[in-house]
Amino acid sequence: MIHYARIISCYTADTSGVCSALYELGGMVVVHDASGCNSTYATHDEPRWYTMDSMIYISGLTEIDAVMGNDEKFISDVCESAQRLKPKFIAICGSPMPAMTGTDFDALALIIQQRCGIRTFAMHTNGMKSYLVGASQAFEMLAQNFCGKTGRSGKRPIVNIIGATPLDLSRQEIIDSIRSWLEENGFESGCCMAMGSSLEDYAGAGDAQCDLVVSSSGLEAARVLDKRFGIPFVTGLPFGKEYSRVLAEDIRRAVQGRENVLSCVERETDKFDIAVVGESIYAGSVARAVSLQTGRAVRVIHTLDTDDCVVAQNDKKLADEDKLEAEFANYGVIIADPLFKPIVAEQTKFVGIAHEAFSGRCFRKTIPDLVNNKIDLEI
């Protein structure tokens, strides 16, 4: 049966992608949904919830308001809260019920902005797509509206990090490792969209000479920054000792040639015995790192909505459980989130690398920091 999972988990939804991307920036995010639905986001999708404050709210949509189209309650509640909290911006996004009733979020955003005088953005989510879709919208909005140039310059090229959320990269320590790796390779670390940088830091994003895109949710934002400021981008994460060196060279190539480099895609394309499953840039970076470390060809199986530019020639796009189970039988080694293990044959070696957007906090303590470190997979 297609689009149905009886064993494996499902990925975080687009509404949570918006919330995660905007979590640290001082804005107010309001999800138009029923009361109590905030707990799903807080307990499953956001590891910062108990350590860092953020203005993430649920509108408390009722059945009668949805049926009767009572948008005034939503508008007045958002404006009243905004007047008290003074957020730097407001983002409103949808869930399945507003999608079914055809709620016009663009119109709501315009009315809210006019009424309370705070910049308000409509995020077109419906709770039925993956977190990458929502995060991509949020990052693109930030690139269009909050990124600028300050004239900052230095002897070393400035590199922004684009597309970072805990849903893919889990902990701030991993971002810190990426920043340290950039510094060690002769670059200056710019802003990080969106972990560990404030909204004010984005004012200088246009000063960078390169953007390092660490998740496919950051691709549209990188394209916006390329169009607005002429900043080339490189896709990849500095995993493993060998690939970390290659990725640093790819950034230098992008800076010198003013060209985009799809680093995580440049992999062997035949005689696969190993498959990596998951988000395209993370999985592609693991694949390149393993391939360079072991000399074996590694295929990526993309299980999420993704841009074709980060899909190598012989990669596969599969989302349905039955098709994944059949595909896994073709490999000697599967590298994936531990919740995929039940559909992997016993004779196939399974290497678990947890993906927070798939398994939540279940395996968070076991997620390794692979940045510039040898990948110990015993394969």
Bridge partners (DSSP) listed for residue 325? none
Instruction: Sheet containing 298-302: give its strands across.
Output: 316-317, 298-302, 274-278, 333-336, 349-352
**Residue 170's closest CA among 240, 237, 78, 263?**
237
3-state secondary structure of 242: helix
Per-residue pLDDT at 303 exceeds 60 = yes
Q: Which fold has domain 267-366?
A: Rossmann fold (3.40.50)
Q: Are 39 and 58 in contact (CB under 8 A)?
A: no
The whole-number pLDDT of residue 110 equals: 97
Instruction: Summarize pLDDT for 231-279 with one digit per residue, the tens.
Output: 999 999 999 999 999 999 999 999 999 999 999 998 877 788 999 999 9
Q: What span, in angstroms and rounded, lies between the C-alpha atoms of 89 and 149?
A: 20
Query: Looking at residue 366, what DSSP letter applies?
Result: G
The whole-number pLDDT of residue 55 equals: 94
Domain extents for the chain? 14-129, 158-263, 267-366
The whole-number pLDDT of residue 47 equals: 86
Q: CATH topology of 158-263 equal to that of 267-366?
A: yes
Kindly tell me the sign of the dihedral angle through the C-alpha atoms of 331, 356, 59, 94.
negative
- Whether this model's pTM surpasses 0.85: yes
The whole-number pLDDT of residue 378 equals: 67
Q: What span, in angstroms and rounded, lies between the C-alpha atoms of 219 and 212?
A: 10
**Six-digit token pair at 368?**
């390794």
The whole-number pLDDT of residue 37 equals: 66
CATH number given to 14-129: 3.40.50.1980
The whole-number pLDDT of residue 152 equals: 82
Q: Which fold has domain 158-263?
A: Rossmann fold (3.40.50)
Per-residue pLDDT at 61 exceeds 90 = no
